[in-house]
Chain A
């Protein structure tokens, strides 16, 4: 049973960089069958796909965040990471790391989610 667990600071100051890591257990992040995504959810609001990474390091990002976001993978540690630069209060959200089933170049569905971690942007 694959499990995903987010880790990282829960509080980030405005203009700084939000950094989160997702550790995958019970399965290999190097599988060709999956991408690895970050999805966020502001309190009381809907879900926003941030971006994804493949085990090869190939990435795709939401254009609304593309200029500020980097997602990377470390296959030796079975982890992938999110960095979001120049954060503002609008980036305050629960951040989920998610496994998504590949269908060719598409992500077919998000089938395994971390529990989520709240990141608050505040001075």
Chain B
């Protein structure tokens, strides 16, 4: 299985801060990576697909990119409604796997 390692596992930031989450795959996954947001008690929501494409209707403060073998997810200006857990997910090969999640809190 491809292991997806996210960092940090938790993060506390202030409204307006730039937030960056990193995801590293245990092997090359090209750009076959997605990012999801999950709020408590809710299903995950797709934010970014193919490493850097913004899903329709998702605010432009969310972005993703590939840098070398790592993937980064950025919130350019944190808003109160962004409090959630964020997951990366690879779809390069079976079984599709997720990172362990990054729990984002407001300071």
Interface residues of A (CB under 8 A from B): 46-49, 60-64, 96, 103, 106-111, 113-116
Contact = CB atoms under 8 A, between A and B. Distances in A.
B46 A110 contact: yes
A116 B55 contact: no
Interface stretch (B18-26, B70-78, B86-94): B86-94
Contact of B91 (A64, A96, A108): A108
A108 B32 CA distance: 8
29 contacts: A46-B99, A46-B101, A47-B87, A47-B101, A48-B98, A49-B95, A60-B94, A61-B95, A62-B94, A64-B95, A96-B44, A106-B32, A106-B92, A107-B91, A107-B96, A108-B49, A108-B50, A108-B91, A109-B34, A109-B46, A109-B49, A109-B89, A110-B34, A110-B44, A113-B43, A113-B44, A113-B45, A114-B43, A115-B42
A56 to B, nearest CB: 18
Q: Is chain B's binding surface mostly helix, strand, loop or mixed?
A: loop
Nearest to B85: A46
A113 B96 CA distance: 16
B54 to A, nearest CB: 12
Q: Is chain A's binding surface mostly helix, strand, loop or mixed?
A: strand
Which interface residue of A62, A106, A109, A114 has the most chain B CB atoms within 10 A? Answer: A109
Contacts of A63: 1, 94-95
A115 to B, nearest CB: 6
Closest 6 CB pairs of A and B: A113-B43, A62-B95, A109-B49, A49-B96, A47-B98, A109-B34
